Chain A
């Protein structure tokens, strides 16, 4: 009898321990909230096809890190406050001893974000895929790419007013560049505690370019301006294409050394492509490497959006400021486009200005779509690709400026 009781007690204790150590007994409402957000992102990615290559890994990373009692990711190892409490010197990027002894898979993969490795590698891939021909054929596109960065600085001012520190404001402002890797690169340096919210906002807005931009474009332009047909771009020689990445790297590095990491990798990728002699490397950079890094980056950035760090009023403010940054960036590009329309006496369609917000190639496609609504025989895509790729350079330069002034 005693034996049976002992067995039953042991069995019940084991079950009780199992229950206590399971996720079910530890799940909180905040976890459920985060899992629901992840499911919404998965819905947007899979059903609505909004940036699926990024949103699927991000959303799954959110699921992995928000399951209670999970040991795959520990955001606290990267939290500056916790690191200081553990006795590490100020500025230590992560709790290295704890990471080595208790770290999970995503902790190690997250080092690629924390040490700023993934975003430049993504830029390498983007460079290998980007054709700077439209920009070379029409150098004034660069001004549209610069104008569209205005949103970054508007959001910076807004964030300062809402009580964020200058570093946090800079990291939030960069969402206006509509460039996920750049936003991550800046946020991991200036405000690592906001990385999750900033990354999710940046990628969400990149996915929502076709929704956010058209109303602003229509509001700021007249039907006559939107109907403008632009002259065909000139062909660009191979020599120009080869000189461009080398020259831009040197020029940008000399003026904004902090922008070198992103711009340098972007231009390396492009030089590999345009040189015409590194076919295997181009293929790797633009496909395999890019895809691998996209998975790792998406997964780990999603994992940083844990309930305790993500579900706060601050995240809502970041999302609000992000859309302001994006809207002002779009408006800045369109307004300079309008100025060019006036100066060139109607030869530039102002709609191509909105493509200066980096999100390649979606922003250019939006210019094409809105242009064709006004004039079905108008083909703005190649003209919009100039400001679009200029926006990539512009946002990397803006990131360098923020790092130079605030880091």
Chain B
């Protein structure tokens, strides 16, 4: 292992309170600065990958409808959020809810290794 600072022997050669304080503070400062540096770098990196990939995902999210997950099996209605007029937002939310539930059921049935081609149709969702 490469020794950056031989703090141990350093501390042994200093014994007064002020010297110990100095060594302790130096060590603490080095430690805090490195932790901050590493996590700041990670933070910048995360920011970078979000800039690169989040936009892709956003455009993907418009195209990825549950129908991609379960082709030919989801027929909540022929309407999509794009077809829906903004005034009819409630209906769009309803469709999204149906799509999300459909995707979840499909994912679950896929997980359980039931036939992925098993067809099902969600016709109605009722809030309770």
Number of cross-chain contacts by CB at 8 Å: 135
The proximity string for A residues 159-194 relative to B, scoring 1 for CB distances below 8 Å and 0 otherwise, is: 011000111010000000000000000000000000
- Mark interface residues in A238-259 (1 if CB within 8 Å of B CB, else 0): 1110011001100110011010
Indicate with 1 or 0, residue by residue over A381-404, a CB within 8 angstroms of chain B CB atoms: 000000000100110011001101
Name the interface residues of A266-294: CB closer than 8 Å to any CB of B.
279
The answer to whether B31 and A401 have CB atoms under 8 Å apart is yes
Q: Tell me, rounded to whole Å, the shortest Cβ–Cβ distance linking A207 to chain B.
A: 25
Q: Which of A140, A152, A169, A240 contacts B49 (CB 8 A)?
A: A240
Q: Take A152-B31, A251-B45, A405-B7 as given contacts and tell me if A234 and B38 are in contact as well, using a CB distance cutoff of 8 Å.
A: no
Does the CB pair A161–B7 fall under 8 Å?
no
**In the bound complex, do residue A142 and residue B34 qualify as a contact, i.e. CB atoms below 8 Å apart?**
no
B32 pairs with A404, CB closer than 8 A: no
In the complex, what's the smallest C-beta–C-beta distance from A176 to chain B, in angstroms? 11
B43 → A minimal CB distance (Å) = 4
B5, B38, B45, B50: residue with the most chain A Cβ atoms closer than 10 Å: B38
Q: Which residues of B contact A256 (CB under 8 A)?
A: 34, 38
Which residues in window 42-67 of B have CB below 8 A to A? 42-47, 49-50, 53-54, 56-57, 60-61
A406 B45 Cβ-Cβ under 8 A: no
Given contacts A143-B43, A156-B24, contact A252 B50 (CB under 8 A): no
Q: Is the CB of B11 within 8 A of A139?
A: no
Interface size class of chain B, counting residues whose CB lies under 8 Å from the partner chain: 35 or more
- Does A237 count as interface, using CB distance less than 8 angstroms? yes
The CA of A394 and the CA of B53, in the complex, are separated in Å by 25
Interface residue? B70 (CB, 8 A):
no
Please give, as numbers and ranges, the residues of chain A lying within 8 Å of B40 by CB-CB distance: 142-143, 146
B128 on the interface (CB 8 Å rule)?
Answer: no
Contact of A161 among B24, B30, B34, B45 (CB under 8 A): B24
Residue from B30, B31, B44, B45 whose CB has the most chain A CB atoms within 10 Å: B31
Which residues on the A side are within 8 Å of B38 (C-beta)? 146, 251-252, 255-256, 397
Q: Is A153 an interface residue (CB 8 A)?
A: yes
Say which one of B15-23, B71-79, B93-101, B114-122 lies at the interface with A. B15-23
What residue in chain B is nearest A157 (Cβ atoms)? Answer: B24
Contacts of A248 in B (CB 8 A): 42, 45
Given A146-B35, A154-B28, A240:B43 Cβ within 8 A:
no
Q: With an 8 A cutoff between CB atoms, is B87 at the interface? A: no
Q: Say whether B104 faces chain A, with CB atoms less than 8 Å apart.
A: no
Contact between chains at A235 and B42 (CB < 8 Å): no
Q: Is the CB of B1 within 8 A of A390?
A: no
A143: contacting residue among B8, B25, B36, CB under 8 A = B36
Q: CB distance A160 to B23 under 8 Å?
A: yes
Judge whether A407 is part of the interface by a CB distance below 8 angstroms. yes
Given contacts A154-B28, A160-B24, A239 and B53 within 8 Å (CB-CB): yes
- Pair B53/A406 contact, Cβ less than 8 Å: no
Chain B residues near A402: list those with CB within 8 A: 31
Q: Which of A160, A279, A393, A406 touches B39 (beta carbons < 8 Å)? A: A393
The 10 closest A-B pairs by CB, nearest first: A237-B57, A153-B28, A157-B24, A142-B43, A146-B39, A139-B46, A139-B43, A142-B39, A239-B53, A166-B11
Q: A157-B28, A393-B39 are in contact. List 19 more A-B contacts (CB 8 A).
A: A142-B40, A146-B36, A146-B39, A146-B40, A149-B32, A153-B29, A160-B23, A161-B17, A161-B24, A165-B11, A235-B57, A235-B61, A239-B53, A239-B56, A239-B57, A251-B38, A255-B38, A401-B31, A406-B7
30 chain-A/chain-B pairs, Cβ below 8 angstroms: A135-B46, A137-B50, A139-B50, A142-B40, A142-B42, A145-B39, A146-B36, A152-B31, A153-B27, A153-B29, A154-B28, A156-B28, A157-B24, A157-B25, A166-B7, A234-B54, A235-B61, A236-B50, A237-B54, A237-B57, A240-B54, A244-B46, A247-B45, A247-B49, A279-B111, A394-B35, A397-B38, A401-B34, A406-B8, A407-B1
Chain B residues packing against A (C-beta within 8 Å): 1, 4-5, 7-8, 11, 17, 20-21, 23-25, 27-32, 34-47, 49-50, 53-54, 56-57, 60-61, 111
